[in-house]
C-alpha cells in the first residue's frame, strides 16, 4: 500500500485539491488534482490527471447556492473513491497566516486550531476559508493526520527591521508587523534552485513571484531576509486587482473626504485596483500585453516599474544580488515582462540572453552576466505535500 497525501488550498470562491502518492523514501508523486469553483454562484467540480486529462466533471445548475461544506464533501467523496492502491494517510493545508510564532508546518491539534482561529482578524478574507476544510475533515476523519503549512512561515527568518513598521510599540506589540506571504512558493523555489545550481542558491537571490497575486522576496543563503508583502497580501507590487503599496494617507483621504466605508475601501483596494484599475481593460497580463489601449500599456509600464524599484530595494537589503528568479503565471510565461524587468536591472549587473528568454530556457542570462537570471516554475502544492510527509514520518517514529 502506498501513502496517499491530500493537499488542500481553499479560498473564498474555490477549493483546490492535489492528491499525491508516495512509497518508502520516494518523493510524493501527483496522482490527480482538481477543484470546486463558483461556490455559492455557479458551482463546478473538475478533477484531472497529472497530464491534464479530465477524470470527472460536474455542475449543479439547479443548486447555484451550493456552499463550501457541501462541495467539499463532494470533493472528498470523489477523492476517496479514486485513491487506487493508496491509503489516505494525511492531509496538508495551505494556511495563509501562521502569525509571529509559527516558522514551520505543524500537525493540527485542538490547541493549534484555537490559535489559528485567533489569527483570523489578521487575514479575514483568507484564514476562515483555510481553516474550514481542516474542521470538516476532522469531523469525517478524526484520526487523519492533518498538517497546517503557513504562507508566512518562510519569512520568520527576516531580521527585526524587515518585519517592523515605524508605529508606536503599543500597536506593533499587538502583532501589527510585516509578515510576508507566498512563503510556500519561495521555499519551493529556494529548494529547486539549490538542486539546479547549488552555488547560486548559497548566494543572494531575488525571486519574483508574478501571478495574479504578486510579490518579491530576497533570499540570502537560502533564508528569506525581506519581502514586498507586509501585514497583509495587499502590500508591495501592483497585482491583478490589488493596489500593492499605497501611501496610507490615501486611505485617510478616502474615508475623510469621500466618506467611504471600510468595506468600500477594502473592495477598492483588493478588487478594483492593480492592473484592472489602471488599465480599465483587464486584470489578465496576457490581455494587456496584446492591447493597444494607452491605459493598458500604462498598466504594464507601472507593473514593471514597481518590480524594478523593489528589485533595487531587495538587493539593498542583502547588500548585493547574485541571481534573479522569475516564477508564477506571468514570471513563467511572459518573456516580454521578463525582458522589460531585466532591461531596468542592467545597472545591477543583469544581462539577458534574449534568445534563451524567448524560448523560456531555465537560465536566461548571458554567459558573462554578473547576475544570473532563471525561470523556475513554482509548485506550492508539492511543497505542502513534502512538508506533510515529513510531519507524518516524524509522527510515525
Catalytic residue numbers, as ranges:
151
What Cα–Cα distance (Å) separates residue 276 from each residue in 273, 297, 301?
6, 12, 13
| Nearer of residues 155 and 340 to ligand ADP, judged by Cβ | 340
Site residues (vs ligand ADP, CB under 6 A) = 211-213, 240, 284-286, 289, 328-330, 333-334
Q: How far apart are the first and last CA of the chain?
A: 19
| Nearer of residues 4 and 183 to ligand ADP, judged by Cβ | 183
State the nearest-atom distance from the C-beta of 198 to ligand ADP, in Å.
26
User: How many other CB atoms are found less than 10 A from the CB of residue 160?
Assistant: 7
Q: Which helix (H) or strand (E) holds 81?
A: helix 68-81
| Nearer of residues 145 and 307 to ligand ADP, judged by Cβ | 307
Cell digits of residue 112: 493549534
| Nearer of residues 106 and 376 to ligand ADP, judged by Cβ | 376
State the nearest-atom distance from the C-beta of 128 to ligand ADP, in Å.
19
The answer to whether 322 touches 203, Cβ cutoff 8 Å, is yes
Q: Which residue minimizes CB distance to ligand ADP? A: 329
**Residue whose cell numbers read 545550481:** 197
77: exposed, middle or buried (Cβ count in 10 Å: 0-12, 13-18, 19+) = exposed
Closest CA to 114 of 159, 148, 144: 148
Greatest CA separation for the chain: 65
State the nearest-atom distance from the C-beta of 184 to ligand ADP, in Å.
12
State the nearest-atom distance from the C-beta of 342 to ligand ADP, in Å.
16
The answer to whether 117 touches 95, Cβ cutoff 8 Å, is no
| Nearer of residues 184 and 315 to ligand ADP, judged by Cβ | 184
CA distance 198 to 58: 45
State the nearest-atom distance from the C-beta of 18 to ligand ADP, in Å.
13
Amino acid at each position: 500500500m502506498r501513502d496517499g497525501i491530500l493537499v488542500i488550498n481553499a479560498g473564498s470562491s474555490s477549493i483546490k485539491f492535489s492528491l499525491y502518492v508516495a512509497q518508502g523514501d520516494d518523493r510524493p508523486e501527483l496522482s490527480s488534482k482538481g477543484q470546486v469553483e463558483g461556490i455559492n454562484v455557479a458551482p463546478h467540480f473538475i478533477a484531472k490527471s497529472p497530464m491534464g486529462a479530465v477524470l470527472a466533471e460536474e455542475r449543479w445548475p439547479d443548486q447555484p447556492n451550493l456552499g463550501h461544506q457541501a462541495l467539499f464533501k463532494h470533493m472528498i467523496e470523489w477523492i476517496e473513491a479514486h485513491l487506487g492502491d493508496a491509503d489516505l494517510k494525511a492531509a496538508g493545508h495551505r494556511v495563509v497566516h501562521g502569525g509571529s510564532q509559527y516558522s514551520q508546518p505543524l500537525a493540527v491539534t485542538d490547541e493549534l486550531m484555537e490559535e489559528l482561529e485567533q489569527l483570523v482578524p489578521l487575514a479575514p478574507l483568507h484564514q476562515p476559508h483555510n481553516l474550514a476544510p481542516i474542521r470538516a475533515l476532522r469531523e469525517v476523519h478524526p484520526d487523519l493526520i492533518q498538517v497546517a503549512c503557513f504562507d508566512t512561515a518562510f519569512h520568520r527568518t527576516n531580521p527585526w527591521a524587515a518585519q517592523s513598521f515605524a508605529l508606536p510599540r503599543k500597536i506593533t506589540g499587538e502583532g501589527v508587523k510585516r509578515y510576508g506571504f507566498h512563503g510556500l512558493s519561495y521555499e519551493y523555489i529556494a529548494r529547486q534552485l539549490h538542486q539546479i545550481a547549488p552555488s547560486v542558491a548559497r548566494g543572494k537571490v531575488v525571486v519574483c513571484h508574478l501571478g495574479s497575486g504578486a510579490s518579491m522576496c530576497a533570499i540570502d543563503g537560502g533564508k528569506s531576509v525581506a519581502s514586498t508583502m507586509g501585514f497583509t497580501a495587499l502590500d508591495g507590487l501592483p497585482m491583478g486587482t490589488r493596489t500593492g503599496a499605497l501611501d496610507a494617507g490615501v486611505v485617510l483621504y478616502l474615508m475623510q473626504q469621500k466618506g467611504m466605508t471600510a468595506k468600500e475601501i477594502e473592495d477598492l483596494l483588493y478588487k478594483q485596483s492593480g492592473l484592472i484599475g489602471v488599465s480599465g481593460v483587464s486584470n489578465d497580463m496576457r490581455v494587456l500585453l496584446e492591447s493597444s489601449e494607452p491605459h493598458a500599456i500604462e498598466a504594464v509600464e507601472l507593473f514593471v516599474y514597481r518590480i524594478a524599484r523593489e528589485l533595487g530595494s531587495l538587493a539593498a537589503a542583502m547588500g548585493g544580488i547574485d541571481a534573479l528568479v522569475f516564477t508564477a503565471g506571468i514570471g513563467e510565461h511572459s518573456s516580454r515582462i521578463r525582458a522589460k524587468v531585466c532591461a531596468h536591472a542592467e545597472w545591477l549587473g543583469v544581462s539577458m540572453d534574449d534568445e534563451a528568454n524567448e524560448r523560456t530556457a531555465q537560465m536566461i542570462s548571458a554567459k558573462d552576466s554578473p547576475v544570473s537570471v532563471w525561470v523556475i516554475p513554482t509548485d506550492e502544492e508539492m511543497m505542502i505535500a513534502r512538508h506533510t510527509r515529513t510531519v507524518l514520518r516524524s509522527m510515525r517514529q
